[in-house]
Amino acid sequence: MHELSFGTWIIHISSVVEWIFTIFVILKISKYKKYNLYFWLSLAMVPNLIGAMCAITWHIYDNQNELYGLVTLQGIFTFIGNSTLALASFTIFKKKETYE
């Protein structure tokens, strides 16, 4: 794991942990407050998490050429994740549900 500096590893790992925590917080809020659309927002965050895991896995194995397919998967999941997040956010905006 010599390809990345210690500081970069800290940022990578903390970002993934933060993303997982945020998914669970949004999911918990959606169930507690009955914000059904927020459930879909938390679900829309999962592809980006998968993409991040692909990137971290590739870095763990010192960016080996044999695992370069992970870079492609990371890009695909990032695209899917950004698209689903945009769709979920737009849906929440358009519904304009009134929350108490």
- What is the full DSSP assignment across 3-70? SS-HHHHHHHHHHHHHHHHHHHHHHHHHHHTT-HHHHHHHHHTHHHHHHHHHHHHHHHTTT-GGGTHH
Predicted confidence (pLDDT) per residue in 48-98, tens digit:
999 999 999 988 888 889 999 999 999 999 999 999 999 999 988 888 655
pTM: 0.85
Closest CA to 51 of 87, 82, 21: 82
How far is it, in rounded angstroms, from Cα 24 to Cα 7?
26
pLDDT score at 86: 97
Retrieve residue 4's tokens: 């990345």
More confident residue, 1 or 5: 5
Q: What is the pLDDT of residues 7-49, one digit of tens each?
A: 988 999 999 999 999 999 999 999 998 888 899 999 999 999 9
Residue type present at position 79: F
Residue 78 amino acid letter: T
Q: Determine how many CB atoms are found less than 10 A away from the CB of residue 26.
A: 19
At residue 99, does pLDDT exceed 60? no
Instruction: Give the pLDDT of residue 63.
Output: 85
